[in-house]
Chains A and B, each alone.
Chain A
Amino acid sequence: MASIPLEHGLLLSGLLFALGLLGVFMRRNIVFILMSIEIMLNAAGLAFIVAGSRWSQPDGQIMFIFILTMAAAEVSVGLALVLQLYHRFKTLDADVASRMKG
Chain B
Amino acid sequence: MLELLWLVPALPLAGFLRLLFKAGRLSRKSIAITGVGSVGLSAVIALIIGVSFITSPPPGYVYTQTLWTWIKIGNLVSEVSFYLDTLSLVMILVITVVAFLIHLYSAEFMIDEESYSRFFAYMNLFAGSMLILVLANDLLLFYLGWEGVGLCSYLLIGFWYKDPLNGRAARKAFVMTRFGDTALAIGIFLIFNNLGTLKIQEFMERAIHNWSPDSAIAVAAAALILGGAIGKSAQLPLQTWLPDAMAGPTPVSALIHAATMVTAGVYLIARTNVLFTLAPTVQLSVAVIGALTMLIAGFSALTQWNIKRVLAYSTISQIGYMFLALGVGAWSAAIFHFMTHAFFKALLFLSAGAVILALEDEHNISKMGGLRRQLPLTFWTFLIGSASLSALPFVTAGFYSKDLILWEAWSSGNRWFWTAGLIGALLTSIYIFRVVFIAFFGEETVRVTRKPKCLMKIPLIILSVFSIIAGFIQLPDTIVKFPIFSDFLHRALPATKVKYDGVNVQLTLQFLTSLVSLSGIFLAYLFFLPHRQFTRSFVQTNLGSALHSYLFSGWGFDWFYERFFVRPFIWIARIDKDDFIDIFYLGIAWLNLVFHRLLRSTQIGLVRWYAMGIGIGAVITLVIVVFL
CA–CA, A100 to B607, complex, Å? 11
Number of A-B pairs whose CB atoms are under 8 Å?
A: 26
The answer to whether the Cβ of B570 comes within 8 Å of any Cβ in the partner chain is no
Interface string of B537-573 (1 = CB under 8 A from A): 0000000000000000000000000000000000000
Interface-lining segment among B58-66, B180-188, B428-436, B608-616? B608-616
Count, chain B residues at interface, CB 8 A: 9
- Are A100 and B605 in touch, CB under 8 angstroms? yes
- Are A33 and B605 in touch, CB under 8 angstroms? no
Interface-lining segment among A7-15, A49-57, A90-98? A90-98
Closest to B615 in A: A21
Interface string of B129-145 (1 = CB under 8 A from A): 00000000000000000
Residues on A with beta carbons closer than 8 Å to the beta carbon of B605: 97-100
Count, chain A residues at interface, CB 8 A: 12
Partner of B607, one of A21, A97, A99: A97
- Are B608 and A95 in touch, CB under 8 angstroms? yes
CA–CA, A42 to B603, complex, Å? 30
- Are B611 and A25 in touch, CB under 8 angstroms? yes
Residues on A with beta carbons closer than 8 Å to the beta carbon of B606: 94-95, 98
Main secondary structure on B side of the interface with A: helix
Partner of A94, one of B604, B607, B612: B607
Residues on A with beta carbons closer than 8 Å to the beta carbon of B611: 24-25
Residues on B with beta carbons closer than 8 Å to the beta carbon of A28: 608
- Are B608 and A25 in touch, CB under 8 angstroms? yes
Task: Kindly provide the distance from the CB of B626 to the nearest chain A CB, expressed in whole angstroms.
Answer: 14
- Are B604 and A25 in touch, CB under 8 angstroms? no
CA–CA, A27 to B608, complex, Å? 8
CA–CA, A72 to B593, complex, Å? 44
Choose among B608, B611, B612 the residue with the greatest number of A CB atoms under 10 Å from its CB: B608
CA–CA, A28 to B606, complex, Å? 10
Within 8 A of A (CB), among B588-608: 603-608
Spell out B's residues near A (CB within 8 Å): 603-608, 611-612, 615
> Could you jot down 18 A-B contacts, CB within 8 Å?
A21-B615, A24-B608, A24-B611, A25-B608, A25-B612, A25-B615, A27-B608, A33-B607, A33-B608, A94-B606, A94-B607, A94-B608, A95-B607, A95-B608, A97-B605, A98-B604, A99-B605, A100-B605
Spell out A's residues near B (CB within 8 Å): 21, 24-25, 27-28, 33, 94-95, 97-100
